[in-house]
Amino acid sequence: MSLSGKTAIVTGAAQGIGRSIALRLAQDGANIVLTDVKTDKLAVVVKEVEALGRKALAVTADVGDREQVYAMVQQAADTMGQVDIMVNNAGIVQVSSILDATPEEVETIYRINVQGTLWGIQAAAKAFKAQGTPGKIINACSMAGHESFPLLGVYCSTKFAIRALTQTAAKELGSLGITVNAYCPGIVGTDMWDFIDRRMVEETGAKPRETYNKFVGGIALGRAETPEDVAALVAFLARPDSNYITGQSIITDGGIVYR
Ligand SMILES: NC(=O)C1=CN([C@@H]2O[C@H](COP(=O)(O)OP(=O)(O)OC[C@H]3O[C@@H](n4cnc5c(N)ncnc54)[C@H](O)[C@@H]3O)[C@@H](O)[C@H]2O)C=CC1
Ligand SMILES: CC(=O)C(C)=O
């Protein structure tokens, strides 16, 4: 119960990795503010958090909209009394070649992945500062934030950007007692990978599941990552054990990308 009495905000918490992070932080004692654009699915995760004996608050918000992010963090602080941990998990993927990427696609993914993370860092850091408390900011990066992959170039560039934001925020906020780190998963079989696999079929003529299986086949530990594997790293970054770590984008991919 190392997070007992703490409040964590998790964005993109309605499903996939965000849901698992919310449940793991709740198991570790934290009350959870869950935010996403999928209101119905959020309601299910609220019940799951409450079943673990923690308080849960769902706030529908689009992380790409700065005002909505600030309002969500304020609502979290007002309802829970304080916020201590911010997990900027929400993100989307796109599959297109460098030659085919369109302005609309690029604008959308940068608005959600890059600006969404930036607004989350800003709003959380300002809340910690106003409270006069230290805090932990934890961003979703990817192994694709360390190495780029064909047809995922624009997505990878957003994750490289998140690594840069993580380093800079760590340098700027360290004197306030705020740590800023990122988790970098590998191949996690969520809706995101279903989408990547479908688009790879369209783009390359690969058979369904062929791209996913090829990536999984390259993992040193011999299996795909689970959302719970990712949540375990996030839980470490959220608890005092990681207090002397900041500015790091830590790979958890079972052995694909080595840094
Ligand atoms: N699945 C994977 O293999 C990997 C995922 N990641 C990252 O982990 C994070 C979570 O990914 P998954 O759970 O796999 O994806 P997912 O697609 O299953 O879930 C993403 C969640 O984010 C929410 N979301 C999307 N746009 C939003 C917005 N504008 N505002 C608020 N919420 C929004 C969605 O509604 C959804 O609930 C993402 O940042 C992703 O880039 C990183 C490496 C690998
Ligand atoms: C989805 C993702 O982050 C990959 C392929 O690394």
pLDDT digits (tens, 9 = 90+) for 163-184: 999 999 999 999 999 999 999 9
Ligand 1 atom with minimal separation from the 113 CA: 39
CB 123 within 8 A of CB 134: no
232, pLDDT greater than 80: yes
Q: Coil, helix or strand for 150?
A: coil
Q: Is 142 in the pocket of ligand 2 (CB under 6 A)?
A: yes
In the CATH scheme, what architecture does the domain 7-186+226-250 have?
3-Layer(aba) Sandwich (3.40)
- What mean pLDDT comes out for the span 72-83? 98
Write down the pLDDT at residue 155.
98
pLDDT tens, residue by residue, 117-163: 999 999 999 999 999 999 999 999 999 999 999 999 999 999 999 99
Q: Provide mean pLDDT across the span 206-221.
A: 98
pLDDT of residue 43: 98
Percentage of the chain lying above the pLDDT 90 cut: 99
Gap from CA of 66 to ligand 2 centroid (Å):
25
Nearest residue CA, atom 6 of ligand 2?
144
Span from the CA of 12 to the centroid of ligand 1 (angstroms): 6
- Residue the block writes with tokens 């309601």: 43
Tokens at 127, concatenated: 């809340």
Whole-number pLDDT of residue 1: 72
Task: Give the pLDDT of residue 53.
Answer: 98
pLDDT of residue 114: 99
Q: What is the pLDDT of residue 39?
A: 98
For residue 208, is pLDDT > 90?
Answer: yes
Which atom of ligand 2 is the closest one to the Cα of 149?
Answer: 5
Higher-confidence position of 139 and 2 = 139
Burial (CB count within 10 angstroms: exposed 0-12, middle 13-18, buried 19+), residue 40: exposed
**Domains of the chain: which residue ranges?**
7-186+226-250, 187-224
What pLDDT score does 198 carry? 98
Report which of 130, 226, 117 is spatially closest to residue 181, judged by C-alpha positions: 117
Tell me how far the alpha carbon of residue 129 lies from the centroid of ligand 1, in angstroms.
28
Which residues have CB under 6 Å of ligand 1?
A: 11-12, 14-18, 36-38, 62-64, 89-92, 112, 116, 140, 142, 185, 187-188, 190-193
Helix (H) or strand (E) holding 60: strand 56-60
pLDDT band at 205 (very low <50, low <70, confident <90, very high): very high
**Run of H or E including 42:** helix 39-51
**Cα 245 off chain centre by:** 18
| Chain Cα centroid distance, residue 26 | 16
Is any atom of ligand 2 closer than 6 Å to the C-beta of 201?
no
pLDDT at 46: 98
Cα angle 81, 162, 26; round to 5:
35
Q: Is 187 annotated as a binding residue?
A: yes
Q: Is 93 in the pocket of ligand 2 (CB under 6 A)?
A: yes
Ligand with smallest separation from the Cα of 117:
1
Report CA(144)–ligand 2 centroid distance (Å): 6
Given the residues 155, 183, 212, 258, the one annotated as active site:
155
Residue 70 falls in the annotated catalytic set: no
Q: Whose Cα sits closest to atom 21 in ligand 1?
A: 12
pTM of this structure: 0.98
Model confidence pLDDT, tens digit, residues 79-117: 999 999 999 999 999 999 999 999 999 999 999 999 999
Residue minimizing CA distance to atom 4 of ligand 2? 144
- As a whole number of angstroms, the distance between CA 240 and CA 35 comes to 24
* Residue among 34, 73, 36, 27 at smallest CA distance from 54: 27
Q: Is 15 labelled as part of a ligand binding site? A: yes
Residue 196's pLDDT is 98
Helix (H, G, I), strand (E, B) or coil at 222: coil
ipTM > 0.95 for the complex: yes
